[in-house]
Chain A
Amino acid sequence: SQQGEEDPQALSIQEGENATMNCSYKTSINNLQWYRQNSGRGLVHLILIRSNEREKHSGRLRVTLDTSKKSSSLLITASRAADTASYFCATVRNTGTASKLTFGTGTRLQVTL
């Protein structure tokens, strides 16, 4: 399986704290994306970082990518209760005519008041 690993599997923090999730993958990639999934719902795209980028910001989100270690991290600053969800990293390799997303195992984030 090409599926990446994420850690921690579950994270519980208080509102206002920062949340850091890590993702490791196995193959060379074109880009890496982070998604959010509320329970029983579809996925929402959060941020994309290309293989030649090392860091990217979007609002309260900060993503890093280390291709030498095949790892990425997602930092959510000043977390809110509404950030409670599962977060998945997904890698893209260009394979033939279609670029497939391969998802990590996910981190379940719980933000309490």
Chain B
Amino acid sequence: GAVVSQHPSRVICKSGTSVKIECRSLDFQATTMFWYRQFPKQSLMLMATSNEGSKATYEQGVEKDKFLINHASLTLSTLTVTSAHPEDSSFYICSALYRDYGYTFGSGTRLTVV
């Protein structure tokens, strides 16, 4: 139980375009999901906390207008990287808060902006 599915696993996009990443909780309802960014050989940095039915809470330094988060249902949160640039290339990981299990992570999305 407590599985989080993240798609796509890899995406390559052109500079200036937008990319949407989905994070689904498959067998539980997740009122809270988290989005992280990870650079090569570095740790995970929390970008934002996504709450179902309300606005996301962004960490300091994260651009709200660039990283749009939507948590429209109890099983789906999406992260849209708008007007992507090469410096947005990174590994993005979502996680969901699951009552008894703690935190369950998606398998991550490797974004490459060319």
Question: Which A residues form the contact surface with B (CB < 8 A)?
Answer: 3, 33, 35, 40-45, 48, 88, 97-106, 108
User: Assuming the A-B contacts A100-B49, A102-B46, are A42 and B108 also in contact, with contact meaning beta carbons closer than 8 angstroms in the complex?
Assistant: yes
A34 to chain B, nearest CB (A): 11
Q: A108 to chain B: which residues have CB within 8 Å?
A: 41
Q: B97 to chain A: which residues have CB within 8 Å?
A: 98-99
Interface residues on B, range: 20 to 34
Which one of B11-19, B62-70, B74-82, B98-106 is at the interface? B98-106
Q: B36 to chain A: which residues have CB within 8 Å?
A: 103
Q: B7 to chain A: which residues have CB within 8 Å?
A: none
* B34 touching A104, Cβ below 8 Å: no
A94 to chain B, nearest CB (A): 12
A22 to chain B, nearest CB (A): 15
* A88 touching B43, Cβ below 8 Å: yes
Q: B93 to chain A: which residues have CB within 8 Å?
A: 42-43
- 22 A-B pairs, CB-CB below 8 angstroms? A3-B43, A33-B103, A40-B91, A40-B110, A42-B93, A42-B108, A45-B101, A45-B102, A45-B105, A88-B43, A88-B44, A97-B32, A98-B97, A99-B97, A100-B49, A101-B34, A101-B46, A101-B95, A103-B36, A103-B45, A106-B42, A106-B43
